[in-house]
Amino acid sequence: MEYAKQLVAQPTTIPGLTLFDLPVHGDNRGWFKENWQRQKMTELGLPDFGPVQNNISFNATRGTTRGIHAEPWDKYISVAAGSVFGAWVDLREGSTFGTVFTAVIDPSTAIFVPRGVGNAFQALEDNTAYTYLVNDHWSAEAQEQYTFLNLADSTVAIDWPIPFDEAELSDKDRAHPPLAEVVPMAPATTLVLGATGQLGRELAQQLADRPGVEFLGRDRFDLADPAAVERIDWRRVSTVVNAAAYTAVDEAETPHGGRAAWEANAEGVARLASACAQHQVTLIHISTDYVFDGAKDGAYSESDALHPVNAYGTSKAAGDLAVGVVPRHYLLRTSWVIGDGKNFVRTMQQLAERGIAPSVVSDQLGRLTFTRDLAEAIVHLRNGDAPYGTYNVTNAGEPGSWAEVARRVYAATGRPASDVSEVSTEEYFGGKAVAQRPLNSVLDLAKLEATGFAPRDQWEALEEYLSVSLP
């Protein structure tokens, strides 16, 4: 064992498998080390993997050999006493399937083993204590999701230092299959909730060719159902995109609608957030400009205080606060969503085709959010290096009013823009039992753009949307 090494992270031939040199301090009494130090190691690139269980494997005799097991969780491995020859084989789906890495692990060394990488070791000394942190709790049911490989497989050809006829192996480990018979471990699943909505349909189109994406409509995952979260096997999930919500803004002002909005947007999201936090799942949650009162002079930033003015906005704001406790979260605030389905643009287009001259509010200002751009932003944030947190996501360009949007739709449909007359929000909703709307829905996009994502100009996107949808 080497004393006084610097803490260093070393990449290996297997993606995600990272070897660490650990500083060990010794004197006449023995030695001391920081075996796992979250802050220092995450700064060096160790995933903040959230260990929940610490296991120790004691090996009484030199030559004790265990593995090769790939588990559906991450592990961080070191040695408390003695030393081992470690062998790792990538058993995940992909081009690196079957790749091998070996190293000697003693108290001055540690290794991070990602989900799906097969792990094995051989004790090089008597009384070796092999220790590992895992980020899920072991159970007999979890063992059914392991992927196994034979220790003596000739394809990977691991050069074990102690021949197996001199080693201690279990009968079970001797009986594991060769690489040719191993079914690779599938990637962890991305769940898309709200799959039948405008954004859900867009995500289904953009992610159709990607493996490991599962789309759940309300019939399979109802946010308002307390049991929905419990029915998910979270060990197989890496990411949740929550595009589901109760969105009947005016109905939410009624006693029944208010309860339904709170059950889905607040309580349901809180249950979802709790499960994601517990299981180290990345949560991508779609929120709304309605969490603000619309009274600000200028665009809202991600750090502005929440101040909703209606029941729907209040329920969404409560959901935002719940999502904020998830270590790995992206909370995306949008406005005026337009996609495949019922929306304001579609309504104006239908009115124009019928020759109707509508009155449209002109004192509510914002930007449209096309689901194409919103879905692309989700993929960009999830697959890039963007820090977790809250991001405003709308289309870019000069803000406008609903009346301006309507005029542009009419012009694109071949009707005079003058068919659209302007009216104030107060005049339009006067005497009607409806929810109060924020007059300013403009969201600042600087934080999103700083990640390298540039949404399209809303008016150019609207023109393209109408050109595709018109006959």
The superfamily in CATH containing domain 189-469 is: NAD(P)-binding Rossmann-like Domain (3.40.50.720)
Residues of the chain short of pLDDT 70, as ranges, are: 1, 142, 469-471
Active-site residue, from 69, 307, 380, 388:
69
The reported pLDDT for the residue numbered 432 is 87
Q: Do domains 8-181 and 189-469 have the same CATH topology?
A: no
Output the pLDDT for position 433. 86
Tell me which residue has tokens 């803000």: 399
CA-nearest of 375, 334, 368 to 203 is: 375
Question: Which stretches of 414-457 are DSSP H helices?
Answer: 425-429, 446-449
The residues, any chain, with a CB within 8 Å of residue 350's CB and separated by 6 or more, are none
Q: State how beta strands 337-338 and 369-370 pair.
A: parallel
What's the pLDDT score for residue 211? Answer: 84
Angle at 234 between CA 230 and CA 240, to 5 degrees: 100
Every domain of the chain and the residues it spans: 8-181, 189-469
Gap between the Cα atoms of 216 and 378, Å rounded: 17
pLDDT at position 302 is: 98
* 290 in active site: no
pLDDT at 469: 55
Q: How far is CA 128 from CA 85, 182, 439, in A?
A: 11, 30, 68
* pTM assigned to the model: 0.87
Question: Which CATH architecture best describes the domain 8-181?
Answer: Sandwich (2.60)
Q: Residue 259 half-sphere exposure, CB side, CA atoms within 13 Å?
A: 3
What's the confidence (pLDDT) of residue 167?
96
Is the Cα dihedral 431, 442, 405, 286 positive or negative? negative
Residue in 132, 300, 330, 410 annotated catalytic:
132
pLDDT in tens, 310-345: 999 999 999 999 999 999 999 999 999 999 989 999
CA 258 to chain centre: 29
CB-CB contact of 383 with 190 (8 Å): no
**Contacts of 448 by beta carbon, 8 Å cutoff, 6+ apart:** 377, 391, 392, 393, 455
Computed over its alpha carbons, how large is the radius of gyration of the chain? 28
Is 69 an active-site residue? Answer: yes
* β-pair partners for 148: 69
